[in-house]
Amino acid sequence: MATEGGATQSKISAERKAAVARARSALETIRAELCEALAAEAPTEALRAAHLRMAKLHRSTAHCHLTAARLQDDYAGRLAQWAGQRGTPRPRFMTGVAEACGTGSAALTLVSAASEQLTVAASDEHARAAQELEFLLGEGPARDAAAEVRPITAAGAALAHRWPGYGPAVTELGIDKVAAVPLSLSGACVGALAVFDPAPGLVGTDSFIEIAEALTRSMILGPDGEPDLYGAANLRAQVHQAAGMVSVQLDCPVADALELIKAHAFAEGVSARSVAERVLNGELRLG
C-alpha cells in the first residue's frame, strides 16, 4: 500500500537522522571536553572563563542533538510497530514529543512575523482542537510564547483571566493547564511548543526546553530537518488563500476577511480549514 510505503520511507529517514544526530552529539561532546581542557591550562582567569563558556555551549548543543536522536528513534520504533498492525492510525511524530514532555497532548506551531499561525502539528485531536482555538480567537499560550519569546503557563481560573476567549473555550475541551515555550534560534523566534495538562514539575525544566530546542535546530531549521514533521503538519495556506478570495468579494482588507473566516468557523464549531475549503469550492459566500 502507498501509505505503508510512505511509512517505510519515514522510518528509514528517522533512523538516518537519529544516527546523524547522535554523531553530532558525540562531536559536540568532544569539543566541550577540549574547551574544558584548555580552560584548565588557561594562563588568565578571563581566558579560562571564555573556554568554559564555549564548553557549556558545546555541551548544550550535544544535549540538543541527543534529544533529537531520541525523538527520531522513538518515531522509527512506533512506525516499525505500526507496520505489523492493521486498521490502526499511522503514528504521529508529535505523539512521541508529547510523551517526552510527560503529557498526552502537545502541539508545535510555526508563526509569521505578525504572530499568525502558519503551520500546526499536533500529537492528537485534543491538542489540534486547542491550537485551532488559538487560531480562531487570536490568543493563547503558543501565540504569547512566540510573541514574548518566553515560557508561558496558566492553569485553572488563570486561563480565563489571561485569555478571556481562549481560556473558557479550552476549559470546555477538558484542559485545565497549558504551558508553552518559544522555538527560537539565534534570537529569532519561529513558533512555540505547547503542552496541555503537563505532568507536575515539567514547566521550567531543562528537558522541556531541550525538547523545544531539538525541534527547532534539528526538525525545523536544521540542514537535515523535517519541517512538515513527516507530513503531519497542517498548513494554513488554504485559509489564507480563502481570505484573499473573500477580500476580493467583499472589497475589504485581507486581514478583515481572515477574521471573518475565523469568526464563521468558531460560530459553527468547525475548523477554519473546513470553512476555507467551502469558500474556495464556491459552496460558501461570507458577508
pLDDT in tens, 210-244: 899 888 877 776 666 665 666 666 666 777 778 78
pLDDT of 254 reads 77
pLDDT of 140 reads 94
Q: Does residue 286 lie in a domain region?
A: no
Please report, in angstroms and rounded to a whole number, the separation of the first and last CA atoms in the chain: 44
Q: What CA–CA distance (Å, rounded) separates 201 from 177?
A: 12
Task: Residue 219: name the closest of 186, 250, 185 by CA.
Answer: 185
pLDDT of 224 reads 63
Q: Which helix (H) or strand (E) holds 117?
A: strand 117-122
Q: What CA–CA distance (Å, rounded) separates 23 from 26?
A: 5
The residue range of the domain holding 16 is 2-83
State whether 231 and 276 are in the same domain: no
- How far are the Cα atoms of 197, 219, 222, 262 from residue 103, in angstroms, in the given order? 7, 20, 26, 29
State whether 100 and 230 are in the same domain: yes
Task: Residue 94: name the closest of 109, 83, 116, 84 by CA.
Answer: 109
State whether 78 and 187 are in the same domain: no
pLDDT of 247 reads 78
Q: Does residue 276 lie in a domain region?
A: yes
Phi and psi, residue 104, nearest 5° = -95, -10
Q: What CA–CA distance (Å, rounded) separates 255 from 35?
A: 51
Q: What CA–CA distance (Å, rounded) separates 207 from 183?
A: 14
pLDDT of 1 reads 43
Q: Cell numbers 530537518 correspond to what residue?
A: 225
Overall domain count for the chain:
3
**Can you list the residues of the chain whose pLDDT is less than 50?**
1-2
